[in-house]
């Protein structure tokens, strides 16, 4: 039986960085994966969708070429070519992960892992079973799209992973679910010329965001991208046939060629035999962990989507690295609570830390500083004057607590805000930091000034 200091189950963004960091620290490490290196993020999530979104963005710019001063015919979309490009990008990155693991001496086992005991793991690959022994184990098995039973089982009803394998773009689509995944797909498809209907049961789409950000988004979704958004009622009477799919949302009838289901993801734990090692999952199926990722079983840890924390690749990666360092560098770091979120819609959204709504819920005294891109030179020059950034700061100490950006490059812009909040900067100091001109990041500086009513480039705020 082969023995390791650490076995990582799952080679996604939570698992492979943990394996590599542990190997860097001198541990003997095995990684078990039943599919391909990179997990959902790299193969069927973040990376493939962003590849397609880049193409869609280009098509969209093309469509509005005359506003930038040139004439161009409407773009012809070659969807199979888009998918080919996506597959190339994914293959390159996945191969990169495989070679990084190899270069760091992490041993690869292909198959499905299940616990025999806390320290013994069976890897089933077809009919071949291999038993490995580990001092420590990190579960990084991730999550998969939810397809509840009320949905018809039909080839025209798909979730995000199988959608990405389609080689033909439908003319129209119903997207079920107004969360991050649903909205990203809605914008992607709308920009590729697909007629999109978005159905969300809750009162609004993207409820994690503050109301002003949502308003800005809906404005663009509905006016520019012509996405039909139906909120506040579940989709009922769903039928699927070879002609298409249809249903009812409240008193509205919806129909399309295809339905894309994006109503959430559930953790993957079924084959692990968690009960056998004394780990009870939550009703939602997550593995409960403490602030350092420890499960009820002393030598077993869990990172990423499977532990019920923030469902982001970057959160999982940081958690995996923290556990590797806690184990093999003898540190005692807790998981970070500050996790930025990025939404690759049109316009993009970046969000980190406290929102205005949360501050209100906590009855916390805050100050808000906002700056719209319409007042910013670079935003106008580059033809993206929509959106704004805003800071949320503690009213008493001026400490930056949260930030949201909506507009062009918002997902890049949020990094500065994350750094400033983690470093516990005050709005005053952020405002005093010189930001190069003309750039979009100047908006943060201006918004920090606006928070104190000292913004030069915006009219005085009406009280």
Answer yes or no: 437 catalytic.
yes
Which CB sits closer to other proteins, 298 or 365? Answer: 365
- Give the shortest CB-393-to-other proteins separation in angstroms: 9
- Identify the residue among 200, 398, 416, 446 touching other proteins (CB under 8 A): 398
- Identify the residue among 92, 99, 252, 397 touching other proteins (CB under 8 A): 397
429 binds other proteins (CB under 8 A): yes
- Identify the residue among 88, 396, 419, 461 touching other proteins (CB under 8 A): 396
Which CB sits closer to other proteins, 246 or 428? Answer: 428
Burial of residue 412 (number of CB atoms within 10 Å: 0-12, 13-18, 19+): middle
Which CB sits closer to other proteins, 423 or 438? Answer: 423
Which CB sits closer to other proteins, 381 or 395? Answer: 395
- Give the shortest CB-428-to-other proteins separation in angstroms: 8
User: Torsion-angle region of residue 112: left (phi > 0), alpha (psi -120 to 50) or beta?
Assistant: beta
Q: 298-317 as b/e, with b when 16 or more CB fall inside 10 Å?
A: eebbbbbbbbbbbbbbbbbb
- Identify the residue among 200, 394, 442, 446 touching other proteins (CB under 8 A): 394
For residue 438, is the peptide bond before it cis, meaning its omega torsion is within 30 degrees of 0? yes
The answer to whether 354 touches 421, Cβ cutoff 8 Å, is no
Distance in angstroms (rounded) separating the CA atoms of residues 406 and 349: 4
The one segment of 69-77, 259-267, 404-412, 423-431 that binds other proteins by CB under 8 A? 423-431
- Identify the residue among 424, 437, 438, 461 touching other proteins (CB under 8 A): 424
> How many residues touch other proteins (CB under 8 A)?
11
Which CB sits closer to other proteins, 219 or 397? Answer: 397
Sign of the Cα pseudo-torsion (200, 147, 173, 164, in order) = positive
What's the full length of the chain, in residues?
A: 463
- Give the shortest CB-430-to-other proteins separation in angstroms: 9
**What's 283-341 look like in SS3?**
CCCCCCCCCCCECCCCCEEECHHHHCCCCCHHHHHHHHHHHHHHHHCCCCCCCCCCCCE
- Identify the residue among 19, 173, 199, 400 touching other proteins (CB under 8 A): 400
Distance in angstroms (rounded) separating the CA atoms of residues 158 and 256: 13
Distance in angstroms (rounded) separating the CA atoms of residues 61 and 257: 26
Which CB sits closer to other proteins, 164 or 421? Answer: 421
Burial of residue 407 (number of CB atoms within 10 Å: 0-12, 13-18, 19+): buried
Q: Which residues are CB-contacts of 290 (< 8 A; sequence separation ≥ 6)? A: none
- Give the shortest CB-336-to-other proteins separation in angstroms: 11
Active site residue: 314, 437, 449, 452, which one?
Answer: 437
The one segment of 4-12, 41-49, 344-352, 418-426 that binds other proteins by CB under 8 A? 418-426
152 binds other proteins (CB under 8 A): no
The one segment of 155-163, 279-287, 305-313, 420-428 that binds other proteins by CB under 8 A? 420-428
Tokens 């199926």 -> residue: 285
Distance in angstroms (rounded) separating the CA atoms of residues 394 and 111: 50
- Identify the residue among 185, 335, 425, 444 touching other proteins (CB under 8 A): 425
The one segment of 257-265, 370-378, 394-402, 452-460 that binds other proteins by CB under 8 A? 394-402
- Give the shortest CB-453-to-other proteins separation in angstroms: 18
- Give the shortest CB-165-to-other proteins separation in angstroms: 43
Which CB sits closer to other proteins, 131 or 334? Answer: 334
Rg of the chain over CA atoms, in angstroms? 24
Which CB sits closer to other proteins, 131 or 396? Answer: 396
DSSP letter assigned to residue 14? T
- From residue 143, alpha-carbon distances to 147, 245, 280, 341 in Å are 12, 26, 17, 18
The one segment of 53-61, 255-263, 425-433, 454-462 that binds other proteins by CB under 8 A? 425-433
- Identify the residue among 3, 399, 437, 461 touching other proteins (CB under 8 A): 399
The answer to whether 226 touches 105, Cβ cutoff 8 Å, is no
- Identify the residue among 104, 144, 146, 426 touching other proteins (CB under 8 A): 426
325 binds other proteins (CB under 8 A): no
The answer to whether 345 touches 217, Cβ cutoff 8 Å, is yes
423 binds other proteins (CB under 8 A): yes
Binding site for other proteins (CB under 8 A): 394, 396-400, 423-426, 429
Q: List active site positions.
A: 437
């Amino acid at each position: 039986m082969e023995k390791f200091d650490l076995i990582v189950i799952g080679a996604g963004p939570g698992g492979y960085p943990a394996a590599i960091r542990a190997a860097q620290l001198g541990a003997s490490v095995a990684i078990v994966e039943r599919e391909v290196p990179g997990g959902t993020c790299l193969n069927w999530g973040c990376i493939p969708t962003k590849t397609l979104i880049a193409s869609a963005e280009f098509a969209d710019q093309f469509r509005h070429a005359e506003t930038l001063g040139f004439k161009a015919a409407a773009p012809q979309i070659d969807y199979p070519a888009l998918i080919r490009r996506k597959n190339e990008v994914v293959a390159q990155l996945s191969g990169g992960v495989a070679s990084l693991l190899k270069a760091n001496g992490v041993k690869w086992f292909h198959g499905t892992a299940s616990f025999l005991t806390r320290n013994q793991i069976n890897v089933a690959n077809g009919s071949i079973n291999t038993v490995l022994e580990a001092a420590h184990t990190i579960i990084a098995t991730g999550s998969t799209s939810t397809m509840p039973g009320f949905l018809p089982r039909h080839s025209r009803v798909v979730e995000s992973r199988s959608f990405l394998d389609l080689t033909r773009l439908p003319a129209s689509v119903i997207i079920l679910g107004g969360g991050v995944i649903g909205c990203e797909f809605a914008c992607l498809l709308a920009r590729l010329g697909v007629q999109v209907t978005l159905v969300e049961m809750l009162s609004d789409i993207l409820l994690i965001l503050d109301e002003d950000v949502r308003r800005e988004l809906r404005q663009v979704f509905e006016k520019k991208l012509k996405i039909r958004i139906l909120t506040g009622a579940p989709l009922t009477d769903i039928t699927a046939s070879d002609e298409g799919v249809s249903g009812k949302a409240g008193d509205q009838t919806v129909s399309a060629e295809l339905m894309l289901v994006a109503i959430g993801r559930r953790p993957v734990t079924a084959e692990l035999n968690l009960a056998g090692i004394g780990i009870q999952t939550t009703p939602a199926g997550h593995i409960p962990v403490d602030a350092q990722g420890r499960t009820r079983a002393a030598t077993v840890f869990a990172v990423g989507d499977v532990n019920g924390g923030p469902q982001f690749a970057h959160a999982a990666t940081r958690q995996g690295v923290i556990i590797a360092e806690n184990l093999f560098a003898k540190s005692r770091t807790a998981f970070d609570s500050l996790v930025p979120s990025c939404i690759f819609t049109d316009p993009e959204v970046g969000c980190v830390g406290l929102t205005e709504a949360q501050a209100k819920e906590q009855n916390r005294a805050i100050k808000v500083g906002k700056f719209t891109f319409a007042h910013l030179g670079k935003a106008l020059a580059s033809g993206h004057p929509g959106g704004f950034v805003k800071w949320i700061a503690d009213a008493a100490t001026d400490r930056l607590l949260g930030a949201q950006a909506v507009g062009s490059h918002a997902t890049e812009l949020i990094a500065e805000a994350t750094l400033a909040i983690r470093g516990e900067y005050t709005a005053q100091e952020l405002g005093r930091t010189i930001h190069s001109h003309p750039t979009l990041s100047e908006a943060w500086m201006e918004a920090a000034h606006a928070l104190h009513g000292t913004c030069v480039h915006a009219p005085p705020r009406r009280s």
